[in-house]
Amino acid sequence: MNDHQLGLAIIVSIGVLMLILFIGIIIFICTYHTKIYKRFKKPVKVMGIIDKTEYVRGSDDYSGGYEVPDYYIVTYSYTDNWGQRRTASFQWQRNIGKAGDKIALHYDSQNPQDSIADCQLKYGKNLWWKVLIALAVILVPSIFIAFYLEK
């Protein structure tokens, strides 16, 4: 194996490893909320009410080179099948409503304190087309470089 072939093998290997890592991360992100929902033994869909939406400003950590983005903490309440009022909250990347607005959610009728908002379930489903574009951005240049360097 000459230096040219070794360089080509290294580039292709790095591209494949990046692709595998990226796919793994995306699969985790896209399926996280669905896995929570699938743990519900008897899911029930209800309309809850947003109690409050709190804006949280992200932080700039320039020393570490990482910027925490802004987000919202959405607190909502709902009534389960036994008439018990339940309250829960989650972080979200954008504002989905104000206090008093309705929110679709699911809860486990056997464990009513476990709930998940419908927008959280839809997030993973809406992310797949972005994943395909990102994969193309990573994969196409790797293939181009591999064939270009082969000549």
Q: Can you give the residue ranges of every domain in the chain?
A: 30-150
pLDDT at position 124: 72
Q: How far is CA 7 from the centre of its chain?
A: 35
Tens digit of each residue's pLDDT, the chain (151 residues): 677 677 777 877 887 788 788 778 878 877 888 888 889 999 999 999 999 999 998 776 555 666 778 899 999 999 998 899 999 999 998 889 899 999 999 999 999 999 999 988 887 776 777 777 877 787 777 777 767 766 5
Q: Which two tokens stand for residue 14?
A: 């790095």
Residue that has been written with the tokens 């409050």 in this structure: 52
pLDDT at position 54: 93
pLDDT at position 143: 74
Long-range CB pairs of 142-147 (<8 Å, 24+ gap) are 142/11, 142/12, 142/15, 142/16, 142/19, 145/11, 145/15, 146/8, 146/11, 146/12, 146/15
CA-CA-CA-CA dihedral for 87, 93, 94, 97, to nearest 10: -10
Contact predicate 18/138, CB 8 Å: yes
Residue that has been written with the tokens 């304190």 in this structure: 113
Cβ atoms within 10 Å, residue 75? 14
pLDDT at position 61: 57
Residue 125, judged by CB atoms within 10 A of its CB (0-12, 13-18, 19+), counts as exposed
